[in-house]
């Protein structure tokens, strides 16, 4: 099969081309402007495609004819399928831009498809990527893929031109055609990959702020809103390619959406849960207004002075285009009857959002949420320094690495998983300078090889952050036959960190400067029950560092212990108990480490940690009494319990336990 694809370098286009190239004996011609030749090179490298199978066709969809006559003659009768994906999707675009690319561009590519037909061969099949936007923003009731012109209002340039582009295909095609109407396209359901902020992603910063500022146990109210026709990009492409190659189906449109799409309120609830924020326990019914919210706001705003400026300022403050806000109350109920019939018998189906929302959230948080607040004092302290961070591929380590890279440091990430490590490095490299060193920190030989590689490449290390660690929540009487838990915890948390210090200390001493930060735990100060293995390993590192500190003081080497409270990362999410315990975000934890780098204190602790330390020194029996009560209020981890033990829902705390968790935030009960 031979294919001609427009918009091949876009988010959908790249995936479509990859899918087409995966088919046996396929050749893909990419229609692209000469000014975008570098994008063609990037596409070929990204897909690792042979030049004989991925071929550029230079042209411009906004120009009559699109490609030159020689190219038309060369491709005439050769193309089996034309996929038209090129379009402008921008909710703030002008009418002129929308008309040029979305309407005229479609007409020009459709005419090209007709010109490529050959009397001696089958005409190429034309596949047009449309959108559910053809239904408009205020259609009420059922809208199926068998429906098109039902008198809907189309006031926004995007909605209007997607409708008009479909009309061009339906009315003027001289070749067989099929139309695909994806809904709100989100990232890949397996990887979360997405190119830009769009659709529900506009609301992710607000969800993050809500998660970071409100306790997890606090119930929330939401607004129900209308149905959100959502679909992950992998489903959209898989369904498109499958339907495109079916023998029957010409002259039809196909909605590409989730079955029974969630309402705006349900979608918000799913994403808040994916972010590990408070639960939305109830969605209030929203007022059913007529027309798009954006249109109403513009009509009212037109009566005010500087209306356009005010509208833009409002959108900027919210971080959401007004057209997106208007769609929250969508009243169309989409029915993909044609798509269901076309996919019957295949293994292709659209997964429900609840199954992959956390994947989308994690990708956004790692790759797209890259605003980093860096103080001038941190820049002065970290700029030009070589910093090693263990456990740097996620959580606290990753957040700290982003901050230090933004401050101008050369960041060396150390972690066990090579794939996650490289992903983290590539993200941080967009902010500053980052290197990745895969290492199992429980293996002394691996640590030696890792530190040798770092010193060979960078010659010295200015700041070492021992952040990697392993924690076990299990009472001693539940551990009597699990001595290995103590051995492996000590191996990683103490001996692994110790070996890193030993290997970097000589160059620090030779250069007469250095800073070693050990990320410890508030549990060391509070003597948290059920954490004897973890607290003992962290306490051992504390004791070593206190002994080392006077030995290296004359060499200008500082040691800092950071007694970290509980931090809300994906690692603790499965433990429902922690939903009721106040916790820091990774960014807040990174701020603690950044401040320690600036000030170089002997230790950093929360007020509670400091109080607990003083309290234990003065009133040890009172501390034991409080912790004894807490020990019986808070259960062991689910893994630590026997099969006949309490069920998972036993981790839902009663009122006294919630009160104690609020008064004493941070200890790992």
The residues assigned a catalytic role are 534
What angle in degrees, to the nearest 10, is found between the helix axes of 11-21 and 37-47? 50
3-state secondary structure 257-270: CCCCCCEHHHHHHH
Helix (H) or strand (E) holding 627: helix 620-633
**Hey, what are 537's tokens?**
């390993």
Beta strands in 531-578 (DSSP E): 557-564
d(CA 147, CA 165): 15
Helices and strands (H, E) in the chain, number of each type: 26, 20
C-alpha angle 585-586-588 in degrees, rounded to nearest 5: 65
d(CA 292, CA 129): 24
Does residue 280 contact residue 221 with C-beta atoms inside 8 Å? yes
Helix or strand or coil: residue 78?
coil
Torsion 309-311-312-313 (CA) sign: positive
Does residue 475 contact residue 534 with C-beta atoms inside 8 Å? no
d(CA 404, CA 170): 55
First to last CA, the chain: 62
Nearest alpha carbon to residue 89 among 18, 158, 17: 158
**Hey, what are 383's tokens?**
């700029």
The side-by-side arrangement of strands in the sheet containing 514-521 is 433-438, 410-415, 386-390, 463-466, 514-521, 557-564, 603-605
Residue 147 CA, chain-centre distance (Å), reads 35
Buried residues in 370-407 as b, exposed as e (16+ CB within 10 A): eebebeeebeebbeebbbbbbbbbbbbbbbbbbbbbbb
**Hey, what are 572's tokens?**
């603790």
Q: How many CB atoms lie within 10 A of CB 56?
A: 20
**Hey, what are 149's tokens?**
């012109």
Could you tell me where the DSSP H helices lie in 119-181?
Answer: 157-172
What distances in angstroms separate CA 520 from CA 191, 441, 534, 607, one per listed residue? 32, 16, 10, 15
d(CA 212, CA 192): 22
Return phi, psi of residue 230, to 5°.
-100, 150
Long-range contacts of 383-387 (CB under 8 A, 24+ apart): 383/407, 383/408, 383/409, 384/408, 384/409, 384/410, 385/409, 385/410, 385/462, 385/463, 386/410, 386/412, 386/458, 386/460, 386/461, 386/462, 386/463, 387/411, 387/412, 387/461, 387/462, 387/463, 387/464, 387/465
């Amino acid at each position: 099969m031979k294919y001609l694809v427009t918009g091949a370098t876009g988010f959908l286009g790249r995936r479509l081309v990859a899918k087409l190239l995966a088919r046996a004996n396929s050749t893909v011609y990419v229609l692209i402007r000469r000014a975008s030749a570098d994008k063609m090179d990037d596409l070929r490298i990204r897909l690792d495609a042979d030049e004989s199978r991925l071929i550029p066709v230079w042209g411009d969809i906004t120009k009559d004819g699109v490609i030159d006559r020689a190219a038309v003659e060369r491709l005439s009768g050769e193309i089996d399928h034309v996929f038209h994906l090129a379009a402008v999707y921008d909710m703030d675009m002008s009418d002129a831009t929308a008309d040029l690319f979305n309407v005229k561009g479609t007409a020009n590519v459709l005419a090209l498809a007709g010109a490529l037909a050959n009397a001696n061969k089958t005409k190429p099949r034309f596949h047009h990527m449309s959108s559910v936007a053809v239904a408009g923003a205020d259609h009420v009731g059922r809208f199926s893929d068998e429906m098109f012109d039902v008198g809907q209002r189309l006031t926004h340039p995007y909605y209007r031109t997607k409708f008009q582009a479909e009309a061009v295909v339906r009315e003027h095609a001289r070749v067989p055609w099929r139309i695909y109407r994806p809904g709100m396209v989100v990232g890949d359901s397996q990887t979360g990959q997405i190119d830009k902020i769009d659709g529900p992603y506009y609301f992710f910063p607000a969800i993050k702020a809500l998660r970071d500022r409100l306790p997890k146990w606090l119930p929330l109210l939401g607004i129900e809103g209308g149905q959100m026709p959502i679909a992950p990009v992998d489903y959209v492409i898989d369904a498109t390619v499958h339907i495109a190659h079916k023998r029957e189906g010409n002259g039809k449109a196909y909605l590409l959406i989730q079955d029974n799409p969630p309402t705006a309120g349900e979608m918000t609830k799913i994403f808040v849960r994916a972010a590990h924020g408070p639960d939305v326990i109830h969605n209030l019914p929203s007022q059913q207004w007529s027309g798009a919210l954006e249109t109403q706001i513009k009509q009212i705003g037109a009566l005010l002075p500087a209306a356009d400026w005010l509208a833009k300022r409002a959108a900027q403050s919210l971080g959401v285009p007004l057209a997106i806000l208007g769609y929250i109350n969508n009243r169309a109920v989409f029915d993909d009857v044609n798509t269901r019939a076309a996919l019957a018998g295949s293994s292709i189906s659209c997964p429900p959002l609840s199954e992959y929302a956390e994947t989308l959230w994690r990708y956004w948080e790692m790759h797209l949420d890259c605003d980093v607040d860096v103080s001038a004092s941190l820049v002065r302290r970290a700029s030009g320094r070589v910093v090693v961070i263990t456990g740097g591929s996620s959580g606290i380590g990753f957040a700290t690495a982003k901050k230090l890279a933004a401050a101008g440091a050369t960041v060396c990430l150390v972690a066990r998983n090579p794939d996650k490590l490289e992903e983290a490095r590539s993200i941080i490299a967009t902010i500053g300078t980052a290197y990745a060193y895969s290492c199992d920190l429980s293996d002394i030989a691996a640590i030696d090889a890792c530190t040798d590689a770092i010193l060979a490449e960078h010659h010295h290390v200015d700041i070492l952050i021992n952040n990697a660690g392993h924690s076990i929540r299990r009472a001693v009487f539940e551990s009597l036959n699990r001595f290995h838990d103590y051995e492996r915890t000590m191996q990683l948390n103490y001996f692994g960190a110790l070996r890193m210090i030993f290997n970097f200390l000589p160059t620090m001493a030779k250069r007469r400067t250095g800073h070693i930060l050990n990320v410890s735990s508030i549990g060391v100060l509070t003597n948290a029950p059920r954490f004897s293995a973890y607290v003992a390993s962290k306490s051992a590192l504390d004791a070593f560092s206190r002994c080392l500190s006077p030995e290296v003081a004359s060499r200008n080497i500082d040691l800092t212990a950071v007694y970290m409270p509980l931090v809300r990362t994906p690692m603790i999410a499965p433990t429902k108990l922690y939903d009721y315990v106040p916790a820091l975000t990774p960014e807040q934890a990174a701020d603690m480490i950044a401040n320690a780098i600036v000030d170089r204190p002997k230790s950093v602790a929360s007020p509670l940690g400091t109080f607990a330390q003083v309290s234990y020194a003065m009133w040890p029996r009172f501390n034991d009494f409080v912790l004894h009560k807490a020990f019986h209020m808070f259960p062991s981890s689910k893994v630590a319990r026997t099969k006949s033990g309490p069920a998972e829902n036993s981790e839902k705390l009663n009122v006294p336990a919630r009160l104690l968790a609020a008064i004493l935030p941070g200890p790992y009960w």
